[in-house]
Structure 1
Amino acid sequence: MDAINIRHYFFYLASLVIIIAGLKVASEIVVILFLAIFISSIFSTLLRILERRHIPRVISYILVISIFILISLLLAYIVNISLKNFISNMPQYEQQLQGLVVKIIALGETYGVVVDKKMILDALNFSSFFGFTTNIIGSIGTFLSKFLLIVIGVAFILAESKSFERKLKVIFKQNSEELEHFNLFSHNIQKYFLVKSTTSFLTGFIIAVGLIIFDVDYPILWGVIAMLFNFVPVVGSIIASIPAILLSLVSLDLNTTLFLIVFYVVINISISNIIEPKLMGKELGLSPLVIFFSLILWGWVLGIVGMFLAVPITMTLKIAFSSNKSTQWLAVLMSDIPSKKEAKG
């Protein structure tokens, strides 16, 4: 029996490696498919709400697709315009940042700290940093530029949602327990995406308003970046805050920048660690170790978009495992049980 079990485990491991390799090769198509599925799970909730208000399904369907297209076009427009302005002003920001570093070095020299100014400026390499920021924003712009294919995918998935429910009833008509498992899985997935999308929008909106108050350049762009990077745990909020903080440092003053850092920290901690867990429920928690390795894995498989999708994909797998008794042990391994015990204590 042990030899048979070991062969089974090696078979599952080999299958997993083949699947991951296939996903990496077909990453461009897979990204569009995953995005269409995840976005559909969010907008299907809105579709059901409209239908419950006795709005005809065709009209509800057109309204939902129109809202999605409008949001996608708005995001693409904001990122495109802001990116062009940011690139045109980048040499000016680079000079201001270099001037700030020179002042800091001069201040250090007055206290007897002698350093090689040229070596420091070369080591910091501002051009590379701003290039990295531009590449990130450019990747988001490329991602938004594929929205036509995503819209078509979302449209077909939402159109097939009713018939898909009927197909499931036919498939599981002899096994009501399996249908119940799938319904639980579907409900939890929709709950996760709805809550995560809501908290991400809230994060981006509050940060955009805050940056307007602080008078930082491109507040809406950094708000959109904060909203999107809220899907990337741990490092996402840090990466999203760096451009706005640096712009504040070079164009405003140190006190404003310090207040801005505190503002970012308070908003991200409040929403990610307080509001989001309460709305999602403790059963949808992921282990920090699982989150870390999921970022590495899906970032490698699907590129930068994979980092945005890492937690949603991993959460989908966890919910799928927890919806079936035979795979619940995998869901337990992926869950954040220690945090639950600490919360109870």
Structure 2
Amino acid sequence: MQSKNTINQVLFYFALFVIVISGLKVASEIVVILLLSIFISSILSAFLNFLRAKNIPNVISYSILLLTFTGSVFLIVYLVNTSLLDFMKSLPVYEEKIKELTLASISLLDQYGIKVNKVEILKLLNFNSLFNFTTELVGNLGAILSKILLITIGVAFILSESKLFHKKIKLIFRNDNQKLVSFNLFSHNLQRYFTVKTFTSFLTGFFIYVALLFFEIKNPILWAFVAFLFNFIPVVGSIVASLPAIVISIVAGNYEATIWLIIIYLIINIAISNVIEPKFMGKELGLSPMVIFFSLIFWGWVLGIVGMFLAVPITMTLKIALEASDHTKHLGMLLSNISNIKSKL
């Protein structure tokens, strides 16, 4: 009987999981706006608390933070959009030069008796899909700005009720101090993760921008923003972010700059991922590499391309939430990396 009840319970939770995920996938556009609003608010609340600690009135602190955030976002959108338009103009030139380099490489391989299907290779080098994607991205600037506006409004409302929300939590757990402590731990760890990750992503983008500017690579703002954004995708993110600048340097015929760029990308990503992030985040926040890989696939499928950027924050949120309670701590351990488990044995 007990075994049957256990099976029924497992089937019930599995069915519940399928229903929730299906709902998230159908409402992905709204869910993405909601999640981004929550995550951004989590980061900005740290700055809001800092301003409050300096005895700056709440209304002034709130106004300064919101105006700074809104201005920064729209400035970034303008700069990235300008760089993207310039990149689109240069795209046909890049395509021709890459084809020339490819044909030269195929001819060199032929001299050594290595046969390569020239037609198939040239088909793969068709940049029409990339051109269509960038054109659509620029063309949908109005839709992008409207979503950014919705996210900004969402962030404004969440921040305005942050103090009230904490009072509500205290009221809910007034008779259970342990749950209140667990929630505060969860909230603190989550805020620390988002703050540190955003800071390290900004550092990555800044150093990449300086390097690209030094080697005179075109559209440094665009590729620095890509580096900032893709830093939120572990393992593959930094590799993908480095490709455009490296390819452009090869096309420009500046092979010395290409070698230096590869070295600089490696140094920046290794230093930030293996030195700075663990120092400020702590090893206890680490996710298992297997969990990271499958979370990228899973959340990318559920929420689209944005889901890949949100995959680690969402999974990290689940892990921190699970570890905050004694009843679910073992599930949080399943998501952890090996160093985290060893430290707790």
TM-score range (shorter-chain normalised) is over 0.9
User: What CA distance in whole angstroms lies between the structure 2 residues aligned with 1:129 and 1:248?
Assistant: 22
Instruction: Tell whether the 8 Å contact from 2:91 to 2:131 is kept in structure 1 after alignment.
Output: no
1:263-282 matches, cutoff 5 A: 263-282=264-283
How far 1:275 moved relative to its partner?
1.4
Aligned to 1:103: 104
Aligned to 1:152: 153
Using the size of structure 1 for normalisation, the TM-score is: 0.93
Secondary structure (helix, strand or coil) at the match of 2:161 reads: helix
Instruction: Tell whether the 8 Å contact from 1:83 to 1:137 is kept in structure 2 after alignment.
Output: no
1:126-145 matches, cutoff 5 A: 126-127=126-127, 130-131=130-131, 134=134
Instruction: Tell whether the 8 Å contact from 1:188 to 1:319 is kept in structure 2 after alignment.
Output: yes
How far 1:112 moved relative to its partner?
5.1
Q: Is the aligned partner of 1:192 residue 2:207? A: no
Instruction: Tell whether the 8 Å contact from 2:85 to 2:138 is kept in structure 1 after alignment.
Output: no
Aligned in 2, Cα 1:36/1:59: closer, same or farther, shift over 3 Å?
A: same
Q: Structure 1 unaligned segments of length 5 or more: list them.
A: none
User: What CA distance in whole angstroms lies between the structure 1 residues aligned with 2:194 and 2:133?
Assistant: 27
When structure 1 is superposed on structure 2, of 208-217 and 139-148 the one drifting more is 139-148
Aligned to 2:3: 2
Using the size of structure 2 for normalisation, the TM-score is: 0.93
Aligned to 2:67: 66
Aligned to 2:36: 35
How far 1:252 moved relative to its partner?
3.4
Deviations 1:161-213 (CA, angstroms, capped at 9, x unpaired): 01111111111111111111110100000000010000000001000111111
Aligned in 2, Cα 1:114/1:70: closer, same or farther, shift over 3 Å?
A: same
Aligned in 2, Cα 1:340/1:260: closer, same or farther, shift over 3 Å?
A: farther
Deviations 1:304-326 (CA, angstroms, capped at 9, x unpaired): 11000000000000000000000
How far 1:128 moved relative to its partner?
5.1
Aligned to 2:26: 25
Deviations 1:95-131 (CA, angstroms, capped at 9, x unpaired): 1111122222333345555545444323x32315744
Aligned in 2, Cα 1:222/1:144: closer, same or farther, shift over 3 Å?
A: farther
Instruction: Tell whether the 8 Å contact from 2:286 to 2:336 is kept in structure 1 after alignment.
Output: yes
Q: Is the aligned partner of 1:174 residue 2:184? A: no
Aligned to 1:335: 336
Query: Which letter does structure 1 place at the counterpart of 2:85?
Result: K
Query: Which letter does structure 2 place at the counterpart of 1:198?
Result: F
Query: Which letter does structure 1 place at the counterpart of 2:126?
Result: F
Query: Which letter does structure 1 place at the counterpart of 2:165?
Result: F
Query: Which letter does structure 1 place at the counterpart of 2:45?
Result: S
Query: Which letter does structure 2 place at the counterpart of 1:66?
Result: L
User: What CA distance in whole angstroms lies between the structure 1 residues aligned with 2:156 and 2:98?
Assistant: 46
How far 1:339 moved relative to its partner?
6.8
Aligned to 1:88: 89
Q: Is the aligned partner of 1:233 residue 2:234? A: yes
Q: Structure 2 unaligned segments of length 5 or more: list them.
A: none
Q: Is the aligned partner of 1:14 residue 2:15? A: yes
Instruction: Tell whether the 8 Å contact from 1:204 to 1:226 is kept in structure 2 after alignment.
Output: yes
How many residue pairs end up in the alignment?
342
Query: Which letter does structure 1 place at the counterpart of 2:188?
Result: H
Deviations 1:84-105 (CA, angstroms, capped at 9, x unpaired): 1111211111111111222223
How far 1:216 moved relative to its partner?
0.7
Q: CA RMSD in A?
A: 2.3
Secondary structure (helix, strand or coil) at the match of 2:287 reads: coil
Query: Which letter does structure 2 place at the counterpart of 1:61?
Result: Y
Aligned in 2, Cα 1:214/1:95: closer, same or farther, shift over 3 Å?
A: same
Query: Which letter does structure 1 place at the counterpart of 2:127?
Result: S
Query: Which letter does structure 2 place at the counterpart of 1:151?
Result: T
How far 1:289 moved relative to its partner?
0.7
When structure 1 is superposed on structure 2, of 166-175 and 137-146 the one drifting more is 137-146
How far 1:28 moved relative to its partner?
0.5
When structure 1 is superposed on structure 2, of 194-203 and 104-113 the one drifting more is 104-113
Secondary structure (helix, strand or coil) at the match of 2:127 reads: helix
Aligned in 2, Cα 1:116/1:22: closer, same or farther, shift over 3 Å?
A: closer
Secondary structure (helix, strand or coil) at the match of 1:126 reads: coil
Deviations 1:220-265 (CA, angstroms, capped at 9, x unpaired): 1100010010001111111111111111110132222122112111
Secondary structure (helix, strand or coil) at the match of 1:54 reads: coil
Aligned in 2, Cα 1:137/1:281: closer, same or farther, shift over 3 Å?
A: farther
Aligned to 1:161: 162
Instruction: Tell whether the 8 Å contact from 1:248 to 1:256 is kept in structure 2 after alignment.
Output: yes
User: What CA distance in whole angstroms lies between the structure 2 residues aligned with 1:50 and 1:140?
Assistant: 36
Deviations 1:10-41 (CA, angstroms, capped at 9, x unpaired): 11111111111000000000000000000000
Instruction: Tell whether the 8 Å contact from 2:333 to 2:341 is kept in structure 1 after alignment.
Output: no
User: What CA distance in whole angstroms lies between the structure 2 residues aligned with 1:119 and 1:25?
Assistant: 38
Aligned in 2, Cα 1:116/1:301: closer, same or farther, shift over 3 Å?
A: closer
Query: Which letter does structure 2 place at the counterpart of 1:8?
Result: Q
Instruction: Tell whether the 8 Å contact from 2:99 to 2:125 is kept in structure 1 after alignment.
Output: no
Query: Which letter does structure 1 place at the counterpart of 2:102?
Result: V
Instruction: Tell whether the 8 Å contact from 2:52 to 2:58 is kept in structure 1 after alignment.
Output: yes
Aligned to 2:263: 262
When structure 1 is superposed on structure 2, of 25-34 and 260-269 the one drifting more is 260-269
